[in-house]
Structure 1
């Protein structure tokens, strides 16, 4: 059968390319009603409209226009925007004031923007952070801006958390009133008066039934329901595990500390411990698997080299030690969290830049990455020269029209022609401009990170550790149980050159000569990806 047309239906579809067009939607957002009163929304809309006019974009819709926190991307107006853009067939751009207006969720926000571009051909543009997300460098810079938004959120959160910690240490409850209590003096945390209410007096019976009659939880739940209290077995377990009910305060914010609270105790400390000991005796001993745990930041991110599956984590209770384990049946790859973290720290250490090496590494990175950007900057110069030529032509034809050398018909003909050419070239300049300055910004970010790479990872929150790991090693790391090694197959493009550069600096100090031309050739041969470049066989031995 020579005709293969019928088989096209089985061929994979090509990814959607960006379709040329000028249709756009505008999204505005503030985090609180206070910002809304300060006309921030109106200001965002005004500047976005001006940007659209300057770019000759046709605005077909507005979304947002209210206050929504961007800590999460599960926002009503934001989801309506995404739904509209994905269903429409003719939207080319989403315009926002800045990328933090679009999202402050870091990697997740970047993933949404990337999906819109690659799957639907829609470009997300920030008018105060102009770049071209369709280029490798622009895509990388856009991700950096999303990460900065998340980092700003974390800094704000740290300020709030500090205040909450101080209150907790003084015995003040800073969250919603727990079940079984009421607040007789609502207001500041230092002015609250939390006392046991009528429901709390009945919940006290649950502790007594457990301690003195050793009733099973299902029976306690049944008795409480008869008394008008609907409580699941899970919530009952939470109740039994919470020292708040015996007048104490504990929290993840103040780990390993127990504070005497300023609230009324529902039960005595002795009764609480008696319930806890009964539950402990009946609890099944063995492994406790952790879905999301600060002690296991490399879970799933670390893959078993033997089978390629992500490794999970668990706690050996009698030793109080955490382990990583391959989840493939029969694989039997197992490693303590402490040892795995030491391996990962060694991997991170290879990207460490000493302070005295900082400036020379910056220069070398600019040289290496500049090879890719060189053609872009040269093209920008040519375009700007053409713009100046057209500007002179426009000025000349206006002057000739004013002094009467040409009539209105000739003036309109050539004036519209030159203006159209000027606008088209101006758009190309906007796409290519700023490569030099943006490159320096990214390199500054990379080198600053590398001077503090180990403390940065170790002191970060669990979520930030995951973001950092994914940025540096997009495909994760692979653990070889036989050799007790970790390796990675892909390293972020900007970071990937650092180990060789620092090694060469060491050689230079020893009297060896650094051949920069070889590394430049490597960049040209490998090409440039938005985030990562493949480096086969990079191993970090455990010695």
Structure 2
């Protein structure tokens, strides 16, 4: 008699009332084996997503068979539907091929297919791709929903240090100020803005005030977070450029204080930072980066350097396909020459 292993999977976001419960799947699989006269071998219970085969129980199952030769009589691997097996079409095909080498035949009892018949591979493609399409559509809807919320000024995800996620009685979520964390991060911004103490020392002192142990990376990310001055960062997506949106949450600091901190961080050699409005705080070699417009396509010009055989070369250039670029030193010089043509009136110069 043929041995059948039962694979029972339910992910954490699936509910029993949709027919995905482990108990329900096991009952249907055992009934099928009884009717078909199959001997039940292993019963694998999995509580993990089917987006990949990096699943704990699945890996254990495969490891056991990788240590021995393929069985001559072969065995079945049964599950209720193909979406219990995988929700990734390319990974599923590879795994089916790998199982066949071990003489193991995967089969969905409610979507049964004889894979020795070529035409059935068309149905297999449908069964495997449909769950993947559902996953992709769900992920896209979530992403679009979050971007829409940010555009409306709502802070998404876990609130940063100094804020807390809350919910009204009617279920509406919002972000509120949390003390004493809010006062501590305000104090930290003011200390960094003075420029007298290293940011690492400010972090240590803030941790003493708070009693926590916020890491240096987390502290630096907080100092660069526009949410503290009442803004929200909408990251670039497709053709949509990165933007700074007005948030509905209450700011902890002013934009002026935020800008002072960014200038201090820039002087201390941190990586490029972004200001409210999306402009970059530039290297002194590229003071016009993000301000100049490309004469070919109209996009904002960025800047970078490249190493030649004997020296480095620096350019303002466009990141689009138009390929425009120009020597940054020459552009800066031309810009300064234009500025020198302007003069203040005597009275204004005196003031």
Distance 1:26 1:338, change over 3 A: farther
Deviations for 1:47-69, whole angstroms, at most 9, x for unmatched residues? 433544565432212222x7644
In the alignment, the residues of structure 2 paired with residue 246 and residue 33 of structure 1 have an alpha-carbon distance, to the nearest angstrom, of 35
1:251 pairs with 2:234: yes
Query: Which SS does the other structure have where 2:161 is aligned?
Result: coil
Deviation at 1:283, TM superposition (A): 4.2
Partner residue in 1 for 2:40: 59
Q: Deviation at 1:188?
A: 7.0
How many angstroms does 1:176 deviate by? 2.0
Q: Which residue of 2 aligns with 1:272?
A: 258
Aligned to 2:143: 161
TM norm structure 2:
0.62
Query: Could you tell me which of 159, 167, 176 is aligned with 1:177?
Result: 159
Of 55-64 and 66-75, more deviation after overlay is shown by 66-75
Aligned partners of 1:320, 1:116: CA distance in 2, in Å?
Answer: 52
Distance 2:24 2:166 in 1: 43
- Secondary structure in 2 aligned to 1:94? strand
2:213 aligned partner: 230
Superposed displacement of residue 154, structure 1: 1.1
The answer to whether 1:151 aligns with 2:133 is: yes
> Are 1:45 and 2:26 an aligned pair?
yes
Residue 153 of structure 1: how far off its partner (Å): 0.5
SS of equivalent residue, structure 2 residue 9: strand
SS at match of 1:192: strand
Question: What SS is found at the alignment partner of 2:248?
Answer: coil
Which among 319, 340, 349 is matched to residue 302 of structure 2?
A: 319
After the TM superposition, which of the residue ranges 67-76 and 91-100 deviates more from structure 2?
67-76
Q: Deviations over 1:240-284 (max 9, x none)?
A: 222112211223378533222222222222222222233345447
Aligned ranges 1:6-155 → 2 under 5 Å? 22-31=2-11, 35-41=15-21, 42-53=23-34, 56-64=37-45, 68-71=48-51, 73-83=53-63, 86=66, 92-118=75-101, 120-132=102-114, 142=124, 145-155=127-137
| CA positional deviation for 1:198 | 1.0
Mapped to 1, the partners of 2:58 and 2:91 lie a distance apart of 14
Deviations 1:227-246 (A, max 9, x none): 33312222222212221122
In the aligned structure 1, how far is the partner of 2:115 from the partner of 2:153?
A: 50
Matched, 1:221 2:207: no
**1:388-445 CA-partner distances (Å, limit 9, x unpaired):** xxxxxxxxxxxxxxxxxxxxxxxxxxxxxxxxxxxxxxxxxxxxxxxxxxxxxxxxxx
Distance across 2 between alignment mates of 1:258 and 1:25: 54
CA distance in 2, matches of 1:217, 1:136: 66
What's the CA shift for 1:192?
A: 2.4
Deviations 1:449-484 (A, max 9, x none): xxxxxxxxxxxxxxxxxxxxxxxxxxxxxxxxxxxx
Unaligned runs of 5+ in 2: 273-299, 305-317, 322-351
Q: Indicate the SS of the match to 2:217.
A: helix
Q: What SS does the corresponding residue of 2:15 show, helix, strand or coil?
A: helix
Q: Aligned-pair distance for 1:190?
A: 3.6
Alpha-carbon distance between aligned partners in 2 of 1:80 and 1:128, rounded to the nearest angstrom: 25
Instruction: For residue 145 of structure 1, report the CA deviation from its aligned partner.
Output: 4.1
SS of aligned partner of 1:249: strand
Q: TM-score, normalised by structure 1?
A: 0.42
- Whole-Å separation in 1 of the counterparts to 2:190 and 2:200: 15
Unaligned runs of 5+ in 1: 1-20, 287-316, 322-335, 340-543
- Answer whether contact 1:224 1:230 (CA < 8 A) is retained: no
Structure with bigger RCO (C-alpha 8 Å, 6+ apart) = 1
Deviation, structure 1 residue 165: 3.3
1:358 counterpart residue number: none
Q: Is the 8 A contact 1:182 1:197 kept in 2?
A: no
Q: Is the 8 A contact 1:183 1:192 kept in 2?
A: yes
Whole-Å separation in 2 of the counterparts to 1:337 and 1:108:
35
Q: Which residue of 2 aligns with 1:206?
A: 188
Instruction: Give matches, 1:345-494, under 5 Å.
Output: none
Question: Kindly tell me: are residues 152 and 225 of structure 1, through their superposed partners in 2, closer, same or farther at Cα, counting changes over 3 Å?
Answer: same
